[in-house]
Chains A and B, each alone.
Chain A
Amino acid sequence: MHVIINGKPEDISLGTTIQKLIEAKKLDPSRVVAELNRKIVPGDQFQETKLQEDDRLELLQFVGGG
C-alpha cells in the first residue's frame, strides 16, 4: 500500500496502524504527534487508526528551539 509519510512515499502493508508505524521507526509514541490528511490524530487513537491507500501522514516531535 502506497502512503506518504513526512513528504516521502513509502510502501507499507495493508492495515498498518499509526501505533505500529511509529514503533517500527523506533520512536516513542508518547512523544510523537500525528497529523493524518491535515487532521490531528490524538495519541489515544494511534492504536485504532489504520492507514489507507494514498494517505498523507505527518509525524512530528519536539526538538530544540528558542
Chain B
Amino acid sequence: MREIPEDLFEIRGKRLGSRLFLGTGKYGDDALIPDVCAASGAEVITVALRRVDPDAHTGNVMDHIPRTMRLLPNTSGARTANEAVRIARLARAMGCGDWIKIEVIADNNYLLPDGYATVRATETLAAEGFVVLPYVNADLYVARDLVSAGAAAVMPLGAPIGTNRGLQTREMIRILIEEIDLPIIVDAGLGLPSHACEAMEMGADAVLVNTAIATANDPVTMARAFGEAVRAGRLGFLAGPGAQRMRADASSPLTGFLGGDGA
C-alpha cells in the first residue's frame, strides 16, 4: 500500500499526532478516562478548575489522566473577561503548562460564549505567554479579532454545548476554515462520530468531543469510534473531493458561439 504522506498538525509549534481533543466532564466514572484516552488516540484533554470540596471525597480527576496527555485547562465558570484571566492564571500556577481554553459564558440558558469578552481575555493572556485556544461562536469578525489578539487556534462551536446536534454552524465554520489562518478546532455539539468526520472532511484542523463520549453507553468504544471518524474525515479532506461524473447535457451549449467543439 502506498504511504500516506505525513500530516503535520501543530499548535504554537507543538506537534500533535491526533486531531481529536477530549474532555473529562460528565463521566459516570472517571476511572474510564485512561481507557477512553487509549481507545481514541487523543493527546490533548481538557479539565476545569474548581474550589476544592474536602467533604465530597470524589477522588481527583488527575488520578485518571495519563501523564502523556497534554492538559488543556478551561476557564469554565467565567462570566467576564477578568474572571477568565483569573482562572487562567490559577490554572497555570498548577504547573501543567500554559495552554488555556478560554470560555466566557454569561448566558445560562444557552451556554453560548461571549465573543467580545473572549477577545479581551485572549489579548491579556496571549501577552502573558499563554497558548490561548478560545471557544467562540463561529463568527468571522470575532475570529479575526482573535487572530489579532494573539490566539493560537480558534474553537468555534458546532452546536450549543452538550446538545449533540452536530454541525449546525456548518456554513459559518466553512468560512472560518477558508478565511482564518489559525488551526480551527470544532468544539461543542458534535454528538456522533459522523459529525466529527464531517467537520474534518470540510477541512477543520481538529475537533473537541466531551459529552458524546462521556455519556455514551460504552464510552471507550465511542472514543475509538470518534478517533477513527476523525482520522477518516481528515484523510477524506486530504484526498480531495471525489471526481463526480460530469453530467452530459446536449441542450443549448453555453459555448456554442465559439464554434467548434466546446465540450
Contacts and interface: CB of A to CB of B under 8 A. Distances in A.
Question: So, do A and B actually touch in the complex, CB under 8 Å?
Answer: yes
Interface of A: 6-7, 25-28, 31-33, 35, 40, 42-43, 58-66
B54 A26 contact: yes
Nearest to A30: B95
B49 interface: yes
Given A31-B60, A33-B94, A60 B25 contact: no
A64 B54 contact: no
Nearest to A58: B51
B73 to A, nearest CB: 7
Taking residues whose C-beta sits less than 8 angstroms from the other chain, chain B's interface range is 20 to 34
A59 B62 contact: no
9 contacts: A31-B94, A33-B94, A40-B89, A40-B90, A58-B51, A61-B49, A65-B23, A66-B188, A66-B211
A28 B94 CA distance: 12
A25 B52 CA distance: 9
Interface of B: 23-27, 30, 46-52, 54, 60-62, 71, 73-74, 76, 89-91, 93-96, 161, 188, 208, 210-211, 214
A63 B64 CA distance: 11
A65 B78 CA distance: 13
Contacts of B24: 63-66
The secondary structure that dominates the B interface is: mixed
The secondary structure that dominates the A interface is: mixed
A64 B93 contact: no
A63 B50 contact: yes
Given A33-B93, A33-B94, A40-B93, A59 B52 contact: yes
A62 B48 CA distance: 5
A36 to B, nearest CB: 12
Contacts of A66: 23-26, 46, 48, 74, 76, 161, 188, 208, 210-211, 214
Contacts of A31: 60, 62, 94
Given A25-B52, A40-B90, A64 B211 contact: no
Nearest to A41: B93
A31 B90 CA distance: 12
A59 B76 CA distance: 16
Contact of B90 (A25, A26, A33, A64): A33
B110 to A, nearest CB: 16
A7 B51 CA distance: 10
Given A33-B94, A60-B49, A65 B76 contact: yes
B48 A59 contact: no
**Which residue among A6, A26, A31, A62 has the maximum number of chain B CB atoms within 10 Å of its CB?**
A62
Contact of A62 (B26, B47, B161): B47
A62 B52 contact: no
Contact of A61 (B23, B50, B188, B214): B50
A60 B50 contact: yes
